[in-house]
Amino acid sequence: MHIIENGNTAAALGVKLCRASVIAAYPITPQTPLTEKLSEYVERGDMKAEYIPVESEHSALAVCIAASSAGARVFTATSANGLLYMHEQVQWASGARLPIVMCVVNRAVGAPWNIWNDQQDSISQRDTGWIQIYCADHQQIIDAVIKAYWIAEKVSIPIMVCYDGYILSHTFMPFDLPDQKTVDAFLPPFKPDYALRPEEPANLNTVTLPDVRLDVRGELAHSYMEIRYLLQEELRTTLDVAADAEKRFAEIFGRQSDPFIESYRCDDADCVALGLGSLTYQLRVSVDALRKEGIKVGVMGLRFYRPFPDEAIAGALKGKKSVVVFEKALSYGYEGALTSDLKSALYEHLAGTGTLPSIQNFIAGIGGRDIRTDDLTKMFRAATHGRVSKEPLWIGLKL
C-alpha cells in the first residue's frame, strides 16, 4: 500500500510493524513526533508494547538496555544533545552486545544552541561500536528500520538508523507501507541466546580484569580485550549479514537495492560526488546540470557508514579520476570524517594500481545553513578540474 506521510511517521510505522515490545523515549526536536506517534499506537491498542516515558535520554537508553537484556525487542530515538547525553549508555549497549534499534534524527549540537539539521550528532558517535545506516528518503527510513532489527538480532550489535531532521523527519513523501504479514515473514520473533529471568538471577557485565581468568564454573573466560576484539571482528562480518538481509528483503518484499551504496549516473562518470543522507539526492540535480554541459559526473550515497564498506566503495570508485565528498559534519581539527575514511579505504585497496582518484572535501549545511543547489553545482564543477584545496572548503560560509 502506498501512503504519503512524514519521515518520522515512516519510522514509527516501521517500529510498529516490527512488533517492538518496549519503547522508552524522552522528547527532543526533531525526533519528538516519532515517539509521540508510537505512544499513540500503544494508547489506541494498535501496538502491543510498553511505552515508558523517562526523565532523560540517558534513562531512555538505560531502560532499553535493561529490557533488551531481559529478551524484549526494544526501540528508542533521539537527536543532537540528547544523543550526546546518552553517550555513556551508547557505549554500554554495544559492549553488552544488545540488538537495540535507535533512530537518530540528525540535528546540530550545542553550543551554541541550534535545532536545525546537520549530521554532527551521529558522526560524533561513529566509534562507539554501533552499526550506522543513513537514509535519503522515506522509503529508505521504513525499510532501514525493518532491516535493522533483522541485522541487529543476527549479530547482537545495536544499530542507529539516521535521517536528516526536518528535511526528512517533517516533510511528506510517498512510500510503500508493507502489510504486517509480509514483515512477519521477514522478521521472526526475537529469541535471544540469553535473557535475564527472575527464576535464574545473574550478574551481567561486572568488573572485568585485564587478563583472562577462570569463571565460576572453572572455565577460561574472555577478559575485556577479548570481548572488544570480538565486537570489532563481528562488526566487520556485519557487512556480509547486511548483504544477506538485502537479499532476503528482496525475496519477500520484491524490492532490492545495494545494501551499501546508492549510485546515480556513475557508470561512465570521471568524477563522483559522495555523501550521506538526503544531500545525495539534492546532488542529483547538480549531476544532471553538469551532464548537460558535457561533464561526466555521478553521485553515490553511502547507506552503511559503520561498519565501513571499504571494499565495496573502493570497487565502485576504481578508475574514477576524482571524488568530491560533501559532508554535513566535521572531525574538528582535520577534515570530514567520511573523507578520512574514504582516503583510508582507497589507499588500502587501490594504492599501487595507478587508479587512486584525487579527493576534495566540502562542508555544507552546518547548523541548518541553506544548501543552494547552484552552489553545489559550482563547487562540483570546479572539483572536476582537479583538487581545489588541501583543506575542506565550506559551502555558503559568510565571514
311 and 304 Cβ atoms separated by less than 8 Å: no
User: Which amino acid, residue 307?
Assistant: P
Determine the average pLDDT of the residues in 166-180.
Answer: 98
Q: Is 238 exposed, middle or buried (0-12, 13-18, 19+ CB in 10 A)?
A: buried
The proportion of the chain whose per-residue pLDDT surpasses 70, expressed as a percent, equals: 100
323 pairs with which residues across the strands?
272, 359
Q: Is the pLDDT of residue 243 over 90?
A: yes
For residues 125 and 109, what is the distance between their CA atoms, to the nearest angstrom?
12
pLDDT of residue 253: 97
Give the percent of the chain with pLDDT over 90. 89
Write down the pLDDT at residue 386. 82
**Is residue 295 classed exposed, middle or buried when 0-12, 13-18 and 19+ CB atoms within 10 A define those classes?**
middle
CATH topology (fold) of 2-186:
Rossmann fold (3.40.50)
Cell representation of residue 219? 572455565
Residue type, 348: E
Q: Are 298 and 270 in contact (CB under 8 A)?
A: no
Report d(CA 49, CA 29) in Å as an integer: 23
Q: N- to C-terminal Cα distance for the chain?
A: 49
Which pTM was predicted? 0.97
Tell me, what's the pLDDT at 209? 82
The rounded mean pLDDT for the chain is: 96
Lookup: cell for 140: 529508505
For the ranges 1-5, 167-171, 203-207, 229-233, the lowest mean pLDDT is seen at: 203-207
Nearest Cα to 82, choosing from 47, 50, 54?
Answer: 54
What integer pLDDT is reported at residue 282 of this predicted model?
Answer: 98
**Per-residue pLDDT band at 47 (split at 50, 70, 90):** very high
Contact 285, 273 (CB under 8 A): no
Same fold, 2-186 and 261-394: yes
Give dist(CA 273, CA 287) in Å, integer.
Answer: 9
Say if CB 223 and CB 211 are below 8 A apart: yes
Q: What pLDDT, on the 0 to 100 scale, is given for residue 280?
A: 98
384 pLDDT more than 80 = yes
Amino acid at 34: L
Q: Which one-letter DSSP state was computed for residue 270?
A: S
At 111 the three-state DSSP class reads: coil
The tens digit of pLDDT for each residue in 332-377 reads: 999 999 999 999 999 999 998 888 999 999 999 999 999 999 999 9
Average pLDDT on 153-158 reads 98
Can you tell me which residue has the cell 545495536? 158
Per-residue pLDDT at 208 exceeds 90: no
**What is d(CA 57, CA 315) in angstroms, rounded to the nearest whole number?**
39
Residues 6+ apart with CB under 8 A from 94: 128, 129, 130, 157, 158, 231
More confident residue, 128 or 353: 128
Task: Say if residue 6's pLDDT is above 90.
Answer: yes
Cis peptide before 27 (omega within 30 of 0): no
CA distance 221 to 215: 6
DSSP state of 164: E
**Looking up cell 572453572, which residue turns up?**
218
Query: What is the Cα–Cα distance from 249 to 231, expressed in whole angstroms?
Result: 25
DSSP code for 189: P
Calculate Rg over the CA atoms of the chain: 21
Give the pLDDT band (50/70/90) at residue 205. confident
Minimal CA–CA distance to 14: which of 136, 156, 130, 187?
Answer: 187
Stretch 129-133: mean pLDDT, rounded? Answer: 98
Pairing state between β 74-78 and 271-275 = unpaired
Q: What is the mean pLDDT of residues 181-208?
A: 91
User: For the chain, which residues make up each domain, given as ranges?
Assistant: 2-186, 261-394
**Is 160 in contact with 125 (CB distance < 8 Å)?**
yes
Which are the contacts of 201, defined by CB distance < 8 A and separation ≥ 6? none
Q: How far apart are CA 168 and CA 127, in angstroms?
A: 25
In angstroms, the CA 393 to CA 395 distance is: 6
Q: Tell me: the pLDDT tens digits for 254-307? A: 998 999 999 999 999 999 999 999 999 999 999 999 999 999 999 999 999 999
Domain 261-394 belongs to what topology? Rossmann fold (3.40.50)
Helices 337-350 + 310-317 axis angle, to 10: 70
Task: Return the C-alpha cell found at 197.
Answer: 529471568
Do the strands 358-363 and 322-327 form a parallel or antiparallel pair, or are they unpaired? parallel
Nearest to 119 by CA among 134, 104, 106, 132: 106
pLDDT at 216 over 80: no
Query: Per-residue pLDDT tens for 17-40?
Result: 999 999 999 999 999 999 999 999
